[in-house]
C-alpha cells in the first residue's frame, strides 16, 4: 500500500483493490499471502496471516452480525431521483444505472430489521462498491427511516459505515443528508435506545461528520481509514508526508474518538454484549 504503487494505477484503483475476488484464490494486499476463497470466507474476509480486513459489501456484513435468515430488508428498490439532472463527464443517471447493473444494489446502503443472538435490532449497512459508498438522498432517507423504525419500535440501531463522503452529484441536497440523519438521531436519543456505529474501511467526509460519529458506542475495524478530509487533501494542504497510521482506527482510538477497535470475527459478540448492557 505504498504511495508510488497507488499513483501508478491512478486513484480509482485503490477503491477496487480489496473487494471480494471472483477466483478461487486471492492474494492479501497487505502481506502477500495467497488465501483460498473458502478460507477467506470462514475468516470473515480477513487475512489469517496478517489480520488485514478486506472490504466487504452489505450482504457479507449482514452475515457477520445477524442471526441466519433473520434479516428483513425495507425499501430495497429505493433509488436516487437525480434532482439536479447532474452531468459531468458522464450523466449521473447513467452512473447510477451502471452501478445498479454492476453491483446489483440500488444505492449505497441497505436497511432492515433482524436479530443478533435473538435480540431484535434495526440495522443499516453501507456498500462502498456503489459509487464509493457516497451519501445522497437515498442513503439519507434510508438512514432516516431506519432511525424512525428504531425510535417507534424502541429497538437498538446499528449502522455499519463505509463511504467516501457525500455524493457530489446531488449537490447541496447531499450535504443536507448530514443534517437530516443527525437531526433524526436526536429522536432516538430521546427514547434512550442505543445506537452502535461501526466504522469500516474507509469512512470519510460527510458520513464521518454526521451519523457515523454520533454513536452511543463507536467501534472501528482494525486499520480502517476514518477521517473528515481525505489523506491526499491533507497532504497537499500541509505539504508534508503524513505520519504512519494517521487516520487509521488505532489512531482514532488513541486520540479518543473510538470506543474500541474490534476484529471482524469478534464484532457480533461485541455488539451483542453491548446490547445486553444497554438495550
Chain contacts with other proteins (rule: CB under 8 A): 75, 77-84, 86-89, 106, 136-138, 140-141, 144, 166-168, 170-180, 182-187, 205-206, 208-214, 226-229, 233-234, 237-238, 240, 242-243, 246-247, 255-257
* Residue number with CB closer to other proteins (64 or 229): 229
Q: How far is the CB of 34 from other proteins (least distance, A)?
A: 34
Q: How far is the CB of 221 from other proteins (least distance, A)?
A: 17
Q: How far is the CB of 100 from other proteins (least distance, A)?
A: 12
- DSSP-assigned states of every residue in 109-152: EEEEEEEETTEEEEEEEE-TTTGGG-B-HHHHHHHHHHHHHHHH
Q: How far is the CB of 258 from other proteins (least distance, A)?
A: 10
CA-based nearest residue to 107, from 195, 169, 196? 169
Q: How far is the CB of 197 from other proteins (least distance, A)?
A: 10
Length of the chain: 279
What region does 171 belong to: left with phi over 0, alpha with psi -120 to 50, or beta?
A: left
* Residue number with CB closer to other proteins (46 or 203): 203
- The whole-angstrom separation of Cα 71 and Cα 8 is 41
DSSP 17: H
Phi, psi of 120 (to 5 degrees): -70, 140
Phi, psi of 66 (to 5 degrees): -95, 160
Q: How far is the CB of 237 from other proteins (least distance, A)?
A: 5
14: cell is 485503490
* Residue number with CB closer to other proteins (119 or 175): 175
Integer CA distances (angstroms), 154 to 184, 202, 246, in order: 14, 30, 38
Phi, psi of 150 (to 5 degrees): -60, -40
* Residue number with CB closer to other proteins (56 or 212): 212
* Residue number with CB closer to other proteins (23 or 244): 244
The CB density around residue 243, as the number of other CB atoms within 10 Å, is 8
What region does 230 belong to: left with phi over 0, alpha with psi -120 to 50, or beta?
A: beta
Q: How far is the CB of 52 from other proteins (least distance, A)?
A: 23
* Residue number with CB closer to other proteins (40 or 122): 122
* Residue number with CB closer to other proteins (185 or 196): 185
* Residue number with CB closer to other proteins (123 or 170): 170
Q: How far is the CB of 238 from other proteins (least distance, A)?
A: 6
91: cell is 450523466
Please name the helix (run of DSSP H) or strand (run of DSSP E) that holds residue 232, with its range, or none: helix 231-238
Amino acid at each position: 500500500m505504498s504511495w508510488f504503487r497507488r499513483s501508478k494505477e491512478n486513484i480509482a484503483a485503490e477503491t477496487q483493490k480489496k473487494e471480494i475476488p471472483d477466483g478461487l484464490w486471492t492474494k492479501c494486499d497487505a502481506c502477500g499471502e495467497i488465501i483460498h476463497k473458502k478460507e477467506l470466507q470462514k475468516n470473515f474476509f480477513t487475512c489469517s496471516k496478517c489480520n488485514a480486513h478486506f472490504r466487504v459489501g452489505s450482504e457479507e456484513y449482514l452475515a457477520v452480525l445477524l442471526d441466519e435468515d433473520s434479516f428483513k430488508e425495507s425499501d430495497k428498490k429505493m433509488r436516487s431521483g437525480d434532482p439536479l439532472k447532474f452531468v459531468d463527464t458522464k450523466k449521473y443517471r447513467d452512473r447510477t444505472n451502471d452501478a445498479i447493473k454492476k453491483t446489483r444494489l440500488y444505492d449505497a446502503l441497505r436497511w432492515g430489521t433482524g436479530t443478533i443472538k435473538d435480540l431484535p435490532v434495526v440495522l443499516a449497512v453501507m456498500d462502498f462498491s456503489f459509487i464509493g459508498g457516497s451519501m445522497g438522498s437515498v442513503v439519507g432517507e434510508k438512514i432516516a427511516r431506519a432511525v424512525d423504525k428504531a425510535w417507534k419500535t424502541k429497538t437498538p440501531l446499528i449502522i455499519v459505515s463505509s463511504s467516501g463522503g457525500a455524493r457530489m452529484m446531488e449537490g447541496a441536497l447531499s450535504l443536507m443528508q448530514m443534517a437530516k440523519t443527525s437531526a433524526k438521531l436526536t429522536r432516538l436519543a430521546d427514547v434512550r435506545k442505543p445506537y452502535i456505529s461501526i466504522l469500516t474501511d474507509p469512512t470519510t467526509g460527510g458520513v464521518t461528520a454526521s451519523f457515523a460519529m454520533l454513536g452511543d458506542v463507536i467501534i472501528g475495524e482494525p486499520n480502517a481509514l476514518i477521517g473528515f478530509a481525505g489523506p491526499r487533501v491533507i497532504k497537499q494542504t500541509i505539504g508534508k508526508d503524513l505520519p504512519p497510521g494517521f487516520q487509521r482506527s488505532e489512531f482514532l482510538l488513541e486520540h479518543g474518538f473510538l470506543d474500541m477497535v474490534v476484529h471482524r470475527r469478534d464484532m457480533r459478540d461485541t455488539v451483542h454484549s453491548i446490547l445486553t448492557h444497554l438495550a
